[in-house]
Amino acid sequence: MQPADRFIEDLRMDDFDSMSTVEYVIEVEKEFEIEIPDSAAAKMTTFQSLVDYIAETAKSKPN
């Protein structure tokens, strides 16, 4: 994966069914102990946007 890879166009995540996409988001949330609202998930179109969201959320998390 490259930072600019788009989930649908480049990584073909549109081949997943909607449940697989939800499971992917849940796994990311578990791994990084964060919550990703549906509105934020919908805006994440690239791998970099996901990484940026995780990094920003982790910075604002209380220790």
User: Residue 63: pLDDT band by 50, 70, 90 thresholds?
Assistant: low
In terms of pTM, does the model score above 0.85?
Answer: no
Q: Which residue pairs, CB below 8 angstroms and at least 24 apart, start in 4-11?
A: 4/46, 4/47, 4/48, 5/46, 5/47, 6/45, 6/46, 7/44, 7/45, 7/46, 7/47, 8/45, 11/47
pLDDT digits 0-9 by tens, 24-53: 889 999 999 999 998 998 888 888 999 999
Q: Where are the domains of the chain?
A: 13-60
